[in-house]
Structure 1
Amino acid sequence: MMKLLKNCRLHSPMDEGMDHLLVAGEVIVLRGEQALALEGSGGIESADMEGRMVIPGLVDCHAHITGGGGEDGPESRVPSVDLGAFTAAGVTSVVGLLGTDDLVRTTGELVVRARALMAEGLSAWCYTGGYHVPPVTLTGSIRADIVHIDRVVGVGELAVSDHRSSHPTDQELIRIASEAHVAGLMANKAGVLHLHLGDGKQGMDPLFRVLRDSDIPARVLQPTHINRQPALMDEAMEAARRGCHVDITAFPEDPSHADVPAAEALARYLDDNGPSGRISVSSDGGGCLPHFDDHGHLHSLDVGRPDSLLLTLQKLLRSGRPAETVLPAFTCNPAELLKLPRKGRLDVGMDADLVVLEEDYAVRDVMARGQWHWRDGQQRLFGTFEKPGRKTD
């Protein structure tokens, strides 16, 4: 059945006031009075949003959909992330990647997991490669992976400034970025090089040297974890002003760690007049979050969760930040960088990916590709191995 969503306080992500949406299949086909006029017609299921805030589904551009970890032995490998963990957090589009373990976990596994999430109703893509050089691929070539494999949109997360990286040379980074860029042109995909930033002494210098010494367009280079340290935030601002898209990680908040909380990081970026279209926030969901001492010894371990993305957005909205200033970092900005033209906004012709929020910004309903995954705080659609009975907070 077609679905009429009436009386939506629509943020697309700009504030567009009260509106009505008609969904057919996976797509928004009508808006406004034209949509409302069809209420009561055969084959249309009507749902009254009663003036609640309706936002685009969140686009999580960095998640370990097959699970991360492995830094503390095989027992520290994190399981893959279930469908419901994403949809409960309002995430309707996700990009999976490999991290430290790009040996046992593979690009092939990522592609299959992305396709599984697609079959379960989410929208999912992935990167080829991982922390190390040469990047692990499925076909033996970065360009072939991006050009020939539907789900692969770029390379990542390649690690720099981290003791776990393979310490790539400037020429290796330039070559990999070039492969990603050219493949993106050939396949009309993003072709980005998604760069993991660690706590190393070089900070973002490797990225700046690539910009200085090559003709690689700045938009190809996307550093993530820019809020890992306050100093990286300053460098990220410079990178964004030079044309890079930079990504904040919604780490679990812990006062004992040096990272800048994601909500604070985004607020600081916007207040300092960072380019508004070149910033995103991602969850690192399913990723292992280890903390090492100065000798490289592991002293604590945590796991990234998709709901950290939602919690960050809620914190910003509850602090009084206007929705139209913060929502792009969670929706249209990553969608535009990743060349996902039907994601990140709510308009005719866009995919019907949306989240309905209560007055306190708690999630009430989630629709992905035209299907209700959550209604009235209850999960309706489940992953193949999920158990019914979950509720949103």
Structure 2
Amino acid sequence: MNMLLLRNALVYAPEPLGLQHLLLGGGRILWMGAELADLPAALSVQTIDLEGRRLLPGFIDAHVHVTGGGGEAGFRTRVPPQGVSRFTRAGITTVVGLLGTDDVARGPQDLLATVYALREEGLSALAFTGGYHVPPRTLTGTVRGDLVFIEALIGIGEVAISDHRSSQPTLDELLRLAADAHVAGLMTGKAGLLHLHLGDGSRGLELVRQALAQSELPPRVFHPTHVNRRKALFDEALALAAQGCTIDLTAFPVEDGEDAWSAADALLRYLDSGAPAGRLTISSDAGGCLPVFDAEGHVCRMGVGESGALLETLNDVLRRGVPLERALPAFTSNPARLLRLAAKGRIRVGADADLLALDADGAAHDVMAGGVVHVRAGRVEHRGTFEHAP
């Protein structure tokens, strides 16, 4: 068991714990304390002095197109997959992969294989079964079977609603999916979520409101994402958070004058709204295509979601005066709780050694995934099998 000692870390767990030393081994945090005793030389412990840098839990990105997204404007617009260092150099140590618009040319087998590949490269990786469309594509024949029998699959998503690219699911179809997710979660202890893509359609979250009003399903099952893409949609999402749903912001670029909130703006508005602090998560949509459509539904331009958007969002809100311990849960402990990942999202003894140390400018100075150093002093130390050095 290789052991790593982190000295002089200013720990945010996410609550501030002051200057601490941490001993990592076997992928876990073995010990943490303010006073450091001499360790036996026979342990051959590697030491990194963080010199007072802020140490955070590694980010949990619950919406990532690990196989690549896109495809709305032809096969040439399919986004390629990302290597492991694209995540780790952005401070992300856990990802949840999913399929989007293209759940035909890209399928669940490819998604699951990519998740396993990321695990072999040292990242924590999980996935949602299905994709935009109903009925969803599965591996076992049913979504409940996928969640019960395939360990890496933890929910259903991203099922599209209020979007011209969706299969226009009915309330009954949505309820059946949510019920399957919920029951499978009960059977397995997994998250059991229905992760919902929100388009910019005028119906907004109406289907979710109807589902909550007309069923016995707990609100936590419904996890709508992209809720900051329209300002009115964000207001709808705030009301759902008050009812018990966890809502997800997307860290996509927002232009001046656009009818949308940036993730940083939306996070500030959420924190100031009085909504429950634990019911907000932020994801990157990394690897996903960010298309803009004309009035006839044709793609007129597109971008690609970037993993680095999470760290950019955090630094943006910190520059606006939000305390780190207030902003950090949306990137760490909140998604860990929602995804039922008990060993992640917090810095404490026994937790997974997924850690991010920031430099003075807020960039990733050191990143450890499962106690293994992936980024050291701002330099990528571990790359994926087919990644090339710059």
- Normalising by the smaller structure, the TM-score range is over 0.9
Q: Where does residue 17 of structure 2 map in the other structure?
A: 16
Q: Where does residue 137 of structure 1 map in the other structure?
A: 138
Matched AA of 1:325? R
State the distance in 1 between where 2:198 and 2:103 align. 17
Q: How does 1:207-226 map onto structure 2 within 5 Å?
A: 207-226=208-227
Give the C-alpha shift of residue 130 in structure 1. Answer: 0.5
Q: Where does residue 63 of structure 2 map in the other structure?
A: 62
Q: Is the 8 A contact 1:126 1:151 kept in 2?
A: yes
Q: Where does residue 298 of structure 2 map in the other structure?
A: 297
Q: Where does residue 27 of structure 2 map in the other structure?
A: 26
Segment of structure 1 superposing worse, 303-312 or 314-323:
314-323
Q: String of CA shifts for 1:109-147, please: whole Å, max 9, x gaps.
A: 111111100000000000000000001111111111001
Q: Where does residue 337 of structure 1 map in the other structure?
A: 338
Give the C-alpha shift of residue 34 in structure 1. Answer: 6.6
Pair 318,38 (structure 1): closer, same or farther in 2 beyond 3 Å: farther
Q: Percent identity?
A: 51
State the distance in 1 between where 2:40 and 2:170 align. 61
Q: Is the 8 A contact 2:311 2:363 kept in 1?
A: no
Give the C-alpha shift of residue 46 in structure 1. Answer: 1.5
Q: Is the 8 A contact 1:4 1:35 kept in 2?
A: no
If the length of structure 1 is used for normalisation, what is the TM-score?
0.97
Give the C-alpha shift of residue 343 in structure 1. Answer: 0.7
State the distance in 2 between where 1:295 and 1:258 align. 19
State the distance in 1 between where 2:292 and 2:42 align. 58
State the distance in 2 between where 1:326 and 1:71 align. 34
State the distance in 1 between where 2:178 and 2:270 align. 26
Pair 320,208 (structure 1): closer, same or farther in 2 beyond 3 Å: same
Give the C-alpha shift of residue 103 in structure 1. Answer: 0.8
Q: Where does residue 121 of structure 1 map in the other structure?
A: 122
Q: How does 1:243-254 map onto structure 2 within 5 Å?
A: 243-254=244-255
User: For the aligned residues, what is the CA RMSD?
Assistant: 1.2
Q: Where does residue 359 of structure 2 map in the other structure?
A: 358
State the distance in 1 between where 2:311 and 2:211 align. 34
Give the C-alpha shift of residue 258 in structure 1. Answer: 2.6
Q: Does 1:53 align with 2:54?
A: yes
Q: String of CA shifts for 1:275-305, please: whole Å, max 9, x gaps.
A: 1000010000000011112321221111101
Q: How does 1:147-162 map onto structure 2 within 5 Å?
A: 147-162=148-163
Q: Does 1:173 align with 2:184?
A: no
Q: String of CA shifts for 1:326-369, please: whole Å, max 9, x gaps.
A: 10000010011001111100110000000111122121110000
Q: Is the 8 A contact 1:318 1:360 kept in 2?
A: no
Segment of structure 1 superposing worse, 248-257 or 169-178:
248-257
Which stretches in structure 2 are left out of the alignment for 5+ residues? none
Q: Is the 8 A contact 1:22 1:35 kept in 2?
A: no
Q: Where does residue 99 of structure 1 map in the other structure?
A: 100
What SS class does the counterpart of residue 343 from structure 2 fall into? coil
Give the C-alpha shift of residue 81 in structure 1. Answer: 1.2
Q: Where does residue 43 of structure 2 map in the other structure?
A: 42
Q: String of CA shifts for 1:207-255, please: whole Å, max 9, x gaps.
A: 0000011111100000000000000111110000100010000002322
State the distance in 2 between where 1:316 and 1:198 align. 25
Give the C-alpha shift of residue 317 in structure 1. Answer: 1.6
State the distance in 1 between where 2:177 and 2:298 align. 30
Give the C-alpha shift of residue 202 in structure 1. Answer: 0.5
Q: String of CA shifts for 1:252-273, please: whole Å, max 9, x gaps.
A: 2322643211101001000111
Q: Where does residue 323 of structure 2 map in the other structure?
A: 322
Give the C-alpha shift of residue 39 in structure 1. Answer: 7.3
What SS class does the counterpart of residue 98 from structure 1 fall into? coil
State the distance in 1 between where 2:232 and 2:27 align. 43
State the distance in 1 between where 2:223 and 2:122 align. 27
Matched AA of 1:280? T
Pair 88,36 (structure 1): closer, same or farther in 2 beyond 3 Å: farther
Q: Where does residue 278 of structure 1 map in the other structure?
A: 279
Q: Is the 8 A contact 1:20 1:31 kept in 2?
A: yes
What SS class does the counterpart of residue 208 from structure 1 fall into? helix
What SS class does the counterpart of residue 43 from structure 2 fall into? coil
Give the C-alpha shift of residue 40 in structure 1. Answer: 5.3
State the distance in 2 between where 1:359 and 1:205 align. 44
Q: String of CA shifts for 1:49-82, please: whole Å, max 9, x gaps.
A: 1111000000000010000000000000000111
Paired positions, count:
389
Q: Is the 8 A contact 1:7 1:19 kept in 2?
A: yes
